[in-house]
């Protein structure tokens, strides 16, 4: 794993706000597509009912495809914005978030393609294709199931980069890592055991909590302006009587933990290193 570039530098609030909004869009489009539209169209174990629902609610079926395509777009964008947000902490972990997030987008793209095929076959049957729309929905559903592996894999480096930063809550980082492991386990259990039961759904609870906490933290905490980001309000800048670079290592630590401005963090670090070298 590559060393963190500078874990003390807080992201720009605008980037945090954009990332949070894109992540929220992922949750909204995914929830509406899979939990709302699909439940109105797909009838478990009844191909005839699924076909009838598609024909009766064509507009709703098209809306489901549109939501899936919107999910592809925001999934790809949020993956890139997470890289932009966290690259100053760890380029490796930020890159892993981007890669796994883009794989998520590809999985959603495949799911959308099968939903579109289901609608097309329902409206323009090819031979005796009454069962095909139902099969297409099953394949789309399985795309979501196997994608749980990458839903989990993208949360693990996200948690690692949160833990590696100096400005994010460590509890959130550990919950993201645990949630990522839970997602991976749920994806494996769903296909490798004949009757996983409710355990698959229970395993999705920790990552769901972690993701919504992450969204709220990005939008509320990180996107809010930080007074200590300006040099005039920096606690170290105010508390160093002899000017920047004259404080102690304790002052540097207080500045980093208290969200001091980048100017004072770097100046204090340079000044402390210079004094330590002279003392030696």
* DSSP annotation of 127: S
If DSSP codes are grouped into helix, strand and coil, which group holds residue 198? coil
Q: CA-CA distance, 156 to 230, in Å (whole number)?
A: 33
Task: Give pLDDT tens digits for 145-196.
Answer: 888 888 889 999 999 999 988 778 899 999 999 999 999 998 888 888 888 7
Least confident window among 3-12, 118-127, 193-202: 3-12
Residues of the chain with pLDDT > 90, as a percent, come to 38
Domain ranges (residues) in the chain: 13-222, 227-279
| pLDDT for the residue numbered 276 | 53
> Which stretch of 29-38, 103-112, 221-230 has the lowest confidence by average pLDDT?
221-230
Q: How are the residues of the chain apportioned to helix, strand and coil, as percentages rounded to the nearest 5?
A: 80, 0, 20
Q: State pTM to two decimals.
A: 0.72
Q: Are 252 and 272 spatial neighbours (Cβ–Cβ below 8 Å)?
A: yes
What pLDDT is recorded for position 261? 52
What pLDDT is recorded for position 264? 54
Average pLDDT estimate for 199-205: 88
* Pairwise CA distance, residues 101 & 120, whole Å: 29
Q: Find out whether 77 and 22 touch, Cβ atoms under 8 Å.
A: yes
Local confidence band at 8 (pLDDT 50, 70, 90 cut-offs): low
Contacts of residue 171, defined as CB under 8 A and 6 or more positions apart, other chains included, come to none
Statement: residue 129 has pLDDT above 90:
no
Lowest-confidence pick of 106-120, 201-215, 241-255, 259-273: 241-255
Q: What is the mean pLDDT of the chain?
A: 79
**47-73: average pLDDT:** 92
13 vs 107 pLDDT, higher one: 107
pLDDT of residue 131: 83
* Stretch 226-232: mean pLDDT: 47
At residue 69, does pLDDT exceed 80?
Answer: yes
pLDDT of residue 147: 83
Residue 230 has pLDDT above 90, yes or no: no
Which stretch of 30-44, 124-138, 157-171 has the lowest confidence by average pLDDT?
Answer: 124-138
Residue bearing the bigger pLDDT, 131 or 159 = 159
- Count of alpha carbons within 13 Å of 225, Cβ hemisphere only? 3
- Mean pLDDT over 101-119 rounds to 90
pLDDT at 58: 92
């Amino acid at each position: 794993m590559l060393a963190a570039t500078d874990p003390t530098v807080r992201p720009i609030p605008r980037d945090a706000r954009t990332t949070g909004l894109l992540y929220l869009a992922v949750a909204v489009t995914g929830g509406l597509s899979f939990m709302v539209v699909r439940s109105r169209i797909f009838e478990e174990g009844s191909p005839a009912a699924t076909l009838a629902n598609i024909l009766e609610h064509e507009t709703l079926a098209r809306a489901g495809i549109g939501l899936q395509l919107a999910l592809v777009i925001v999934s790809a964008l949020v993956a890139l914005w997470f890289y932009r947000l966290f690259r100053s902490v760890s380029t490796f972990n930020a890159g892993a978030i981007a890669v796994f997030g883009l794989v998520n987008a590809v999985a959603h793209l495949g799911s959308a393609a099968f939903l579109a095929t289901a609608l097309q076959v329902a409206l323009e049957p090819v031979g005796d294709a009454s069962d095909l729309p139902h099969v297409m929905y099953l394949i789309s559903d399985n795309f979501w199931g196997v994608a749980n592996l990458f839903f989990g894999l993208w949360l693990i480096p996200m948690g690692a980069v949160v833990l590696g930063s100096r400005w994010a809550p460590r509890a959130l980082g550990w919950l993201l890592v645990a949630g990522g492991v839970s997602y991976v386990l749920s994806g494996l259990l769903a296909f490798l055991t004949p009757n996983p039961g409710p355990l698959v759904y229970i395993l999705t609870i920790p990552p769901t909590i972690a993701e919504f906490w992450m969204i709220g933290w990005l939008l509320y905490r990180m996107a809010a302006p930080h007074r200590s980001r300006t040099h005039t309000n920096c606690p170290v800048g105010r508390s160093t009587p002899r000017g920047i670079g004259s404080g102690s290592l304790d002052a540097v630590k207080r500045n980093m933990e208290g969200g001091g401005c980048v100017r004072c963090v770097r100046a204090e670090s340079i000044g402390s290193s210079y004094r330590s070298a002279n003392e030696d």
